[in-house]
Amino acid sequence: MKILVPFKSVPDPNDVTVAGAAASTPKWVINPFDEIAIEEALRIRERGEATEIVGVTIGAPAVDEQIRAALAMGVDRAIRIDDSRALDPYAVARILGAVVEKEAPHVVIMGKQAVDDDSNQVGQMLAGLLGWPQATFVSKIEFLDNRTRAQCTRETDGGLEVVAIKLPAIITTDLRLNEPRYVSLPGLMKARHKLIETLTCDQLGVTVRPRTTTLSISSPPKRAAGTRVESVEELVAKLRQEQVL
Amino acid sequence: MAKTLILIEHDRQQVKRPSLHAITLARQLGGDYALLVLGHGLDDIAASLVSYGACAVVVADDPALTEPLADRYATVIAEATRKRGAKTLLGTSSTFSKDVLPRAAALLDAPMVTDVLAIEEIDGSIMYRRPINAGSMLTTVRVEGDRRVLTVRATAFEAPAANAAPSPIERFAFDAASLPNGMQFISREQRASDRPDLTESRVVVSGGRPLKDKETFERLVGGLADALGGAVGATRAAVDAGMAPNDYQVGQTGKVVAPELYIALGISGAIQHLAGIKDSRIIVAINKDPDAPIFQMATYGLVGDLHHIVPQLIEAVRRA
């Protein structure tokens, strides 16, 4: 079984302060949800259910650093689609669709959302474009029937839900699927010899143009820091004044 | 024909009220709007939707739609959008709409904007304001093309009034036999709860990691919520530690709430959690660490040990 894992480079969410100001020179990391997807692919390979894991990302050469991190975790080889435009989720899904056609994986595992953009669209759009089944927000994956189907537990607003999907399919990961491993030194050494293939949209035969554009970015209104109270009695009195008790 | 088609969510018994808030955005956009509901055995649900001023309540009712499987649902939603000539396909942010609407957008070849907080008109075009980076920043987004898909944050739009002349109920005819068949529903966790829904409750009490275990969490967080008639929420850490189920998680990747009163017990205030609560009217934080970031945004802060304070608070609320 071959697994394709698309991933995105994002500013390290732990670098963002509580005030909302991003650090001036953010450290870039693999989107945490995508890191969970990579980890899951590794575990599937480690239990003998997959033979190859291919990573794919889109961006300028600078994202090679996150590609190396994915390879160091254990991804077998990687593809970088050389495109540094500000793409929207639909454009990303179209490009990934072309990569899927080229690589013909049995399953695509990817994060449910990127923690910078928070759109939560690409996996579902990719499934729609390909006409493949999808399981989103997944916290458990088991392969069934000689790996022709996957049974997935999904985290929904109403609690856990289980679906079975025919492969090939798209699976998007939620937080509790696993805890990604740290990169090891031997992993890093091995990664240096792994292949990063660079392709353009032209070479993939796909033409995309983002149709959503960010016009401006602003800070949301801040909540003023409130009042410290010293006792339960004082708190209850305040809440009564506010007419919430 | 309708300018806007709004996907309405239900739990087989009744409409999920937050999904109605998208109607408020449709009214702001102007033009007529239709409501779309999918499932099986929808007569009562459709009947409950006729007073919202829609030009039609469109009902896709078929045994093939009994469970909300994304491949089938997106196919029917895209078909209904095309047939009604809708320019905007609209839903309220939830795991249901986030599962099916991006897929429908791909089938419609339409761009999509998630979590719309407000619209603004610039040079005669509608722009959408939405949060990014766990709500730490807001962006204004322009969308090209004549068709688009949007989800709105229920907390950013009021519940719509339900006092209009009755809308006609129309059955949406589609070929159920030709729907995709790659997904199968297996099971859903059934958890009976007498507590109000987290996203609809006037009061939410949430707990973090210092609650230590499931029993303490239930006794303190659940106990205070029950005394207040409120819902229970949790941080990611509390859910990861098994103290609370996943659907209690509040924050960037969980639920967004904006109750009248939000009480945070033992929650330090990670940006990912604050993203889900900052539109609450009153935030109360109780934490033993006086430097916890949550005190920077709490309306009222009380420093101290939960195990002493919360039982006293439960007692005081019961007496109140």
Query: Could you give the domains of chain B?
Result: 4-178 (3.40.50.620), 203-319 (3.40.50.1220)
- Summarize pLDDT for B273-310 with one digit per residue, the tens: 999 999 999 999 999 999 999 999 999 999 999 999 99
Residue pLDDT, tens place only, B212-268: 999 999 999 999 999 999 999 999 999 999 999 999 999 998 999 999 999 999 999
Question: Count of CB atoms within 10 A of residue B242's CB?
Answer: 11
- As a whole number of angstroms, the distance between CA B103 and CA B74 comes to 6
- Best of B14, B72, B112 to disrupt the A interface (most A CBs within 10 Å) is B112
Nearest Cα to Cα of residue A11 among B277, B256, B136: B136
Q: What is the 3-state secondary structure (H, E, C) of B123-183?
A: CCEEEEEEEECCCCEEEEEEECCCCEEEEECHHHCCCCCCCCCCCCEEECCCCHHHCCCCE
Q: How far apart are CA A140 and CA A164, in angstroms?
A: 12
Nearest to B113 among A151, A212, A231 (CB): A212
Q: Name the residue in chain B with its Cα closest to that of A10.
A: B133
Which tokens is A53 given? Answer: 């894991």
Least confident among A217-226, B141-150, B159-168? A217-226
CATH value at residue A58: 3.40.50.620
Q: Please, what's the largest Cα pairwise distance for chain A?
A: 70
Which B residues 64-103 touch A at CB under 8 Å? 69-71, 74, 94-96, 98-103
B131 to chain A: which residues are within 8 Å by CB? 118, 220
3-state secondary structure of A192: coil
Structure-token pair, residue B159: 């519940």
Considering only the beta carbons, identify the residue of A159, A222, A245 that sits closest to B189. A159
Which backbone phi and psi does B18 adopt, to 5 degrees?
-60, -25
Confidence bin at B42 (pLDDT 50/70/90): very high
Q: Which two structure tokens, joined as six digits, stand for B249?
A: 């998680």
Taking only residues 59 to 88 of chain A, the set having a beta carbon closer than 8 angstroms to any beta carbon of chain B reads 88
Burial track B103-124 (b if 16+ CB lie within 10 A, e otherwise): bbbbbbebbbbbbbbbeeeeee
Task: Give per-residue pLDDT as tens, B189-213.
Answer: 977 788 999 999 999 999 999 999 9
Q: Do B203 and A244 touch (CB under 8 A)?
A: yes
Residue in chain A closest to B299 (alpha carbons) equals A226
Task: Pick the closest to residue B253 from B155, B150, B135 (CA basis).
Answer: B135
State the average pLDDT for chain B: 96
B69 neighbourhood in chain A, CB within 8 Å:
163
On average, the pLDDT of chain A sits at 94
Instruction: Count A/B contacts: CB-CB distance under 8 Å.
Output: 264
Tens of pLDDT, residue by residue over A125-180, are 999 999 999 999 999 999 999 999 999 999 999 999 999 999 999 999 999 999 99
Band of pLDDT at residue A122, cut at 50, 70 and 90: very high
The confidence score (pLDDT) of residue A241 equals: 95
Report yes or no: B261 and B280 within 8 Å, Cβ to Cβ. yes
Q: What is the mean pLDDT of residues B129-137?
A: 93
Q: Which chain B residues are within 8 Å of A165, Cβ to Cβ?
A: 182-184
* Shortest distance, CA A187 to any CA of chain B (angstroms): 28
Length of chain B, in residues: 320
One-letter identity of residue A153: T
The minimum CA-CA distance between B257 and chain A, rounded to whole Å, is 13
- Taking the CA of residue A18 and the nearest CA in chain B, the distance in Å comes to 5
Contact B188 A159 (CB under 8 A): yes
* 8 Å CB contact of B180 and A120: no
Residues B188, B191, B197: CA angle, nearest 5 degrees: 105
Predicted confidence (pLDDT) at residue A15 exceeds the cutoff of 80: no
Q: Does residue A189 sit at the B interface (CB-CB below 8 Å)? A: no
Tell me what ipTM this predicted complex has: 0.96
Judging contacts by C-beta atoms under 8 Å, the chain B residues touching residue A8 are none
Q: Give the one of A18, A124, A226 whose C-beta lies nearest to B300's C-beta.
A: A226
Q: Tokens 């033979």: give the residue.
A: A51
CA distance B78 to B82: 6
Q: How far away is chain B from the Cα of A43, in angstroms, using its nearest Cα?
A: 20
Number of C-beta neighbours around residue A200 at 10 A: 10
Chain A residue whose CA is closest to B144: A211
Q: What percent of chain B is modeled with pLDDT above 70?
A: 100
Is the Cβ–Cβ distance between B208 and B264 less than 8 Å?
A: yes
pLDDT at A24: 60
Report in angstroms the alpha-carbon separations of B78 from A129, A136, B88, B106: 13, 19, 11, 9
User: pLDDT tens digits for A197-206?
Assistant: 999 999 999 9
Chain B environment of A222 (Cβ under 8 Å): 297
Whether residue B71 and residue A134 make contact (CB cut-off 8 A), yes or no, is yes
Nearest chain B residue to A18 by CA: give it: B271
Instruction: Say which of B99, B113, B188 has its CB closest to residue A136.
Output: B99
For residue A62, what are the domain limits? 2-241
**Backbone dihedral angles phi then psi of residue A99, each to the nearest 5 degrees:** -65, -40
Going by the DSSP 8-state scheme, the letter that residue B250 receives in this structure is B
CB contact (8 A) between residue A90 and residue B105: yes
Distance, CA of B202 to CA of B200 (rounded, Å): 7
Question: What stretch of H or E contains A64?
Answer: helix A64-73
A25 in contact with chain B, both atoms CB, cutoff 8 A: no
User: How many domains is chain A built from?
Assistant: 1
Given an 8 Å threshold on Cβ–Cβ distance, is A161 in contact with B100? no
